[in-house]
């Protein structure tokens, strides 16, 4: 049995790794908290969502939507991300399929504004209403094709586009009114402009999903 006990060296490594992990986690949470002021960050949205669904066994999908690091995930079905081989428009219909398979599970689909457009949202909302699917949709809306911006910065980090902060073919202005798109199929929908508004908006949306057993949508404005 003594051979199964960790050696002193292994225990020191474990302690050091745990301390390093705790420090990194604290840094991530502090950055997310700081992102609530003014136009909020994706990190703040992610942190608020994680707090809002805590203890509910929720499944969160992210397609260029809420980032995972600020979240506290506590079960094996808590997180799904878009296929890295492609598949823009995946999050919304995937969430509908998950909800159809298990109506008692809380499903939250997060996505960028471009991904929402790619999902053919009019069709998705019509299906959600027709089948009474209780899903929360969170659009992390930065008014641009964020994936294209990141691709440009990744390949040309010191190029003209990076220096001027003017990325060709990324802008989505004028941004459509996504709230009205959802309301066309009688969904509960709200726009959130500031970080201070977000926790209450999430609570209201989740209350609608639980009590009315229908779709709720939040169009959340974030920094580019």
Render pLDDT for 139-190 as a digit per residue (tens, 0 to 9): 999 876 566 666 565 665 666 565 555 655 555 667 889 999 999 999 999 9
Alpha carbon distance 196, 221 (integer Å): 12
The radius of gyration of the chain from alpha carbons, rounded to an integer in Å, stands at 20
Alpha carbon distance 111, 197 (integer Å): 19
Alpha helices by DSSP H, the chain: 8-34, 42-52, 91-101, 113-118, 121-130, 146-155, 160-164, 178-183, 198-212
pLDDT at 129: 98
pLDDT at 87: 77
Give per-residue pLDDT as tens, 106-128: 999 999 998 999 999 999 999 99
Alpha carbon distance 198, 104 (integer Å): 25
What residues contact 132, with CB distance under 8 A and at least 6 apart? 213, 214
Which is nearest to 35 in space by CA: 62, 69, 61, 59? 69
Angle ∠(56,61,64) on CA atoms, nearest 5: 140
């Amino acid at each position: 049995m003594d051979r199964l006990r960790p050696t002193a060296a292994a225990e020191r490594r474990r302690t050091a790794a745990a301390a390093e992990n705790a420090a990194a986690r604290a840094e991530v949470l502090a950055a997310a908290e700081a992102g609530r002021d003014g136009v909020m960050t994706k990190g703040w949205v992610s942190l608020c969502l994680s707090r809002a669904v805590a203890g509910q066994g929720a499944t969160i999908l992210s397609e260029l939507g809420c980032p995972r690091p600020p979240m506290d995930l506590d079960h094996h079905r808590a997180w799904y991300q878009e296929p890295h081989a492609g598949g823009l428009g995946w999050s919304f219909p995937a969430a509908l399929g998950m909800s159809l398979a298990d109506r008692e599970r809380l499903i939250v689909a997060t996505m960028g504004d471009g991904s929402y457009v790619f999902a053919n949202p009019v069709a998705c909302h019509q299906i959600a209403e027709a089948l009474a699917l209780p899903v929360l949709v969170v659009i992390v809306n930065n008014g641009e094709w964020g994936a294209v911006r990141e691709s440009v910065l990744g390949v040309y980090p010191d190029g003209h586009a990076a220096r001027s902060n003017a990325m060709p073919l990324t802008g989505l202005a004028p941004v459509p009114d996504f709230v009205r798109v959802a309301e066309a199929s009688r969904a509960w929908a709200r726009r959130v402009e500031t970080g201070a508004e977000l926790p209450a908006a999430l609570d209201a949306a989740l209350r609608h999903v639980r009590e009315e057993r229908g779709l709720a949508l939040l169009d959340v404005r974030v920094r580019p």
